[in-house]
Amino acid sequence: MTTETFWVPLQRDVITATGTDVRTYLHSQLSQDVSGMRVGETRQSLLLQPTGKLDGIIRVTCVEGEMFVLDVEPGCGEAVLARLNRFKIRVKVELSLGRESWVAVRNVSTPIPGSIPAWRCDGSAVDLRSESAVAELKQGSLEDYEQARIITAWPTMNVDVTESSIPAETGITDVAVSFTKGCYPGQELVERMDSRGSIAPRQLRYVQVGEGAVVGQEVEHEGRFGSVTSICGVHALVAFKRA
């Protein structure tokens, strides 16, 4: 494993959203503030069911005034597309699904021109569409990528969280939810838990575990018990139960 800057090839399911109503429609559906996004800006977001359960973890990029790109983990695009189409009533929005190859650069120490922010959008993780910009960097392994993801505590849909999860369980509401925007499906649960300081039934956290730990194993950390959802060596994401 490495703490140096490295890159790996990556595939993402990509939904292209266009139309005169695309900005207002996405703003009405996603947990993030889309209405104020500038051309070239990227934000993380959640897509929720009306009950507040999780439908997807989405990265949103404003490409043009009437064009947005939403990318998700490979294999998650169809479910996200179906959910967005389900609520697309009398709006001028077209949605199309594809899969694209990206270059994921992690443990970033200096800005990389042409990149878009990934994970917590703090500059340490970025993605590009071409390998030309990373020619001088080390190519890493999928294990390097998983270790970086786990240490950053960035969840993978259908691995660390599922459709039965609620936003507060993801550990990413600080970067994927706007608490000042208007209504969207699932907002009531998000706002209620935040205003009351409620603790989710499960809380995803990064911890170091003993050698040989496996996914699904119950572990104890600082008096709390939880189940391992992702692991790479001694680095693990653990869904801790509410005390």
At 102-117, the pLDDT tens digits run 999 999 989 998 899 9
What is the end-to-end Cα distance of the chain in Å, rounded? 33
Q: 137 burial class (0-12, 13-18, 19+ CB within 10 angstroms)?
A: middle
Cβ pair 71, 44 in contact under 8 A: no
Classify the C-alpha dihedral 30-31-33-38 as positive or negative. negative
Q: CA 144, CA 146: separation in Å to the nearest integer?
A: 6
Q: What is the mean pLDDT of the chain?
A: 95
At 119-145, the pLDDT tens digits run 999 999 999 988 877 888 999 999 999
Q: According to the model, what pLDDT value does residue 104 have?
A: 97
At 170-199, the pLDDT tens digits run 999 999 999 999 899 999 999 998 888 888
DSSP annotation of 185 reads T
Domains of the chain plus CATH, in order, are: 6-198 (3.30.1360.120), 201-243 (no CATH)
E strands, the chain, in order = 6-18, 42-48, 54-64, 67-72, 94-106, 116-117, 125-128, 138-139, 202-208, 218-221, 224-232, 235-241
- CA distances for 160 relative to 30, 42, 116, 237, angstroms: 20, 23, 24, 8
Give percent of the chain with pLDDT exceeding 90: 86
Tell me if residue 80 falls in helix, strand or coil. Answer: helix
Give percent of the chain with pLDDT exceeding 70: 99
> How does strand 138-139 pair with strand 6-18?
parallel
Q: 144 Cβ partners below 8 Å, 6+ apart?
A: 1, 2, 6, 8, 106
Of 14-18, 67-71, 151-155, 194-198, the poorest mean pLDDT is in 194-198
User: Would you list the DSSP string of 15-77?
Assistant: EEEESTTHHHHHHHHBSS--TTPPTT-EEEEEEE-TTS-EEEEEEEEEEETTEEEEEE-TT-H
Q: CA 214, CA 154: separation in Å to the nearest integer?
A: 18
